[in-house]
C-alpha cells in the first residue's frame, strides 16, 4: 500500500442519500490520488435538523445503510477508512453514541471509538449554545490500532481540547491522530488549527483533521479548515473552505528521527498528585 493519507471535507445535509453520494465521489477521488488511509469528517452522513433526529438515525453496530456503505467503499477501493462519526444505538433508548468506525481494506471493522468529550458549551450567551450530552452518551475507551501508515489513534472534534487524551495515545506509541471534526465558525477561526498543530507538536505525531464546512441546510454553519499536519507542526496540506480531498505522504522515518532527537517521552516528569 502507499504511504499517502487523505482527509475529506464535506458540507453534509439532513438527507442521507445526498451525503452518501457526496462521500462516494470524494472517497473515489481519494483512492484515485493514491490514498491508502482516508478520514471522513464528523457527522458526515447525519447532519441532523434536531438533536432527537440522532436517535431516529441511529444504527445498531454492524447493521444499517451507513455502515454497509463504509464497509463496501473500504473493500471496493482497497482503503482503510476512518468513518468520521455516525450515531450508534446504546443502552439508553433516548441517546446515542457518537461513534467513529474504522474499517480495513477488506471492509472489516478494525476498531470503534466513541467520542469521549461532549460539546456542552455556550459560545455566545443567548445566541449560540450546544448541549451534545442531551442525546449523546460519552464513550470511555481510548482506541489505538495498527494501520498501513503507522500506529493510529482516533479522537473527535471537541476531544482536541483535551491534551491528556492525546498524551495517553502517545505513551502507547501512536504515530497518527485521525480527528474527524465539525467546528463552529467562531471556535474554528480562533482555535482549530492552533489546537491541531499543538497536538502534533506535543506528541511529535501526524494529525489528520477532516472537517465539515459551510452553511448546512439544517441552519448550522461549520468552519472547515481540514488539514494534515506533520510531527514538526508544519501544515503540509490545508483546505480552508469548499468540499474536497487533501492528501499528503506520511514519513515515519522522519517521525522516528524527530522522536529520537527530541525524546520527550523519556523526559516527562510530572505525575498525578
42 is catalytic: yes
From 42, 59, 132, 175, the catalytic residue: 42
Nearest CA-CA partner of 35 in 81, 70, 71:
81
Would residue 49 be called left, alpha or beta, if left means φ above 0 and alpha means ψ between -120 and 50 degrees? alpha
Rg of the chain's alpha carbons, rounded to an integer?
17
From 157, 175, 211, 227, the catalytic residue: 157
Distances (CA, A) of 258 to 241, 252, 266: 31, 10, 13
Pairwise CA distance, residues 256 & 261, whole Å: 9
From 73, 90, 115, 227, the catalytic residue: 115
Q: What is the 3-state secondary structure (H, E, C) of 184-247?
A: EHHHHHHHHHHHHHHHHHHHCCEEEEEEEEEECCCCCEEECCEEEECCCCCEEEEECCCCEEEE
Exposed / middle / buried, residue 50 (Cβ in 10 Å: 0-12, 13-18, 19+): exposed
Nearest CA-CA partner of 165 in 132, 203, 130, 216:
203
Pairwise CA distance, residues 111 & 257, whole Å: 28
Going 79 to 10 to 175 to 252, the CA torsion angle's sign is positive
β-bridge mates for residue 88, sequence order:
59, 97
For the beta carbon of residue 258, count every other beta carbon within 10 angstroms. 16
What positions carry a catalytic annotation? 42, 115, 157
Amino acid at each position: 500500500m502507499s504511504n499517502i493519507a487523505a482527509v475529506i471535507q464535506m458540507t453534509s445535509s439532513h438527507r442521507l442519500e445526498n451525503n452518501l453520494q457526496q462521500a462516494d465521489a470524494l472517497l473515489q477521488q481519494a483512492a484515485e490520488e493514491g490514498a491508502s488511509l482516508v478520514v471522513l469528517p464528523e457527522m458526515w452522513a447525519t447532519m441532523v435538523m434536531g438533536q432527537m433526529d440522532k436517535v431516529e438515525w441511529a444504527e445498531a453496530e454492524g447493521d444499517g445503510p451507513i455502515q454497509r456503505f463504509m464497509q463496501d467503499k473500504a473493500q471496493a477501493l482497497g482503503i482503510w477508512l476512518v468513518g468520521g462519526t455516525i450515531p450508534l444505538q446504546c443502552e439508553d433508548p433516548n441517546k446515542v453514541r457518537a461513534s467513529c468506525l474504522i474499517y480495513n481494506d477488506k471492509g472489516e471493522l478494525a476498531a470503534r471509538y466513541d467520542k469521549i468529550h461532549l460539546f456542552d458549551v455556550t459560545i455566545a450567551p443567548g445566541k449560540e449554545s450546544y448541549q451534545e450530552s442531551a442525546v449523546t452518551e460519552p464513550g470511555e475507551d481510548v482506541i489505538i490500532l495498527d494501520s498501513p501508515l503507522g500506529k493510529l489513534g482516533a479522537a473527535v472534534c471537541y476531544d482536541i481540547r483535551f491534551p491528556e487524551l492525546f498524551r495517553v495515545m502517545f505513551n502507547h506509541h501512536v504515530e497518527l491522530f485521525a480527528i474527524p471534526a465539525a467546528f463552529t465558525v467562531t471556535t474554528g477561526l480562533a482555535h482549530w488549527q492552533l489546537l491541531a498543530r499543538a497536538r502534533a507538536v506535543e506528541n511529535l505525531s501526524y494529525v489528520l483533521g477532516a472537517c465539515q464546512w459551510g452553511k448546512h441546510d439544517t441552519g448550522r454553519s461549520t468552519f472547515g479548515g481540514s488539514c494534515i499536519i506533520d510531527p514538526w507542526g508544519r501544515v503540509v496540506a490545508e483546505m480552508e473552505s469548499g468540499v474536497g480531498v487533501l492528501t499528503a505522504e506520511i514519513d515515519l522515518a522522519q517521525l522516528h528521527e524527530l522522536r529520537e532527537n527530541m525524546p520527550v517521552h523519556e523526559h516527562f516528569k510530572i505525575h498525578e498528585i
